[in-house]
Amino acid sequence: MSKPVPLLAARDLTKAHGRTEALRGASVELRAGEILAVTGASGSGKSTLLHCLAGIVRPDAGSVTYGEERLDTLPEPRLSELRRTDFGVVFQFGQLIPELTALDNAALPLMLGGAGRKDAQQRAGEWLERFGVRGQGDLRPGELSGGQAQRVALARALATGPKVVFADEPTGALDSLASEQVMTALVHTARETGTSVLLITHDAQVAAYADREVRLTDGTLAPSEVSA
Ligand X SMILES: Nc1ncnc2c1ncn2[C@@H]1O[C@H](COP(=O)(O)OP(=O)(O)OP(=O)(O)O)[C@@H](O)[C@H]1O
Query: Which residues are near ligand X by CB under 6 A?
Result: 17-18, 20, 22, 40, 42-48, 202
The residues pairing with 89 across neighbouring beta strands, listed in sequence order, are 166
Determine the distance from the C-alpha atom of residue 63 to the mean position of all C-alpha atoms in its chain, rounded to a whole number: 19
Nearest to ligand X of 26, 96 (CB atom) = 26
The residues pairing with 20 across neighbouring beta strands, listed in sequence order, are 17
CB of 44 to ligand X, least distance (A): 4
CA pair distance 65, 8, nearest whole angstrom: 6
Task: Please report the DSSP string for 71-132 in residue order.
Answer: GGGS-HHHHHHHHHHTEEEE-TT----TTS-HHHHHHHHHHHTT--HHHHHHHHHHHHHHTT
Q: Which of 153, 164, 138, 169 is nearest to 94 (CA)?
A: 153
CB of 48 to ligand X, least distance (A): 3
Nearest to ligand X of 22, 182 (CB atom) = 22
Look up residue 44 and give its DSSP letter.
S
CB of 225 to ligand X, least distance (A): 15
Nearest to ligand X of 13, 182 (CB atom) = 13
CB of 38 to ligand X, least distance (A): 9
Nearest to ligand X of 44, 105 (CB atom) = 44
CB of 18 to ligand X, least distance (A): 5
Nearest to ligand X of 11, 202 (CB atom) = 202
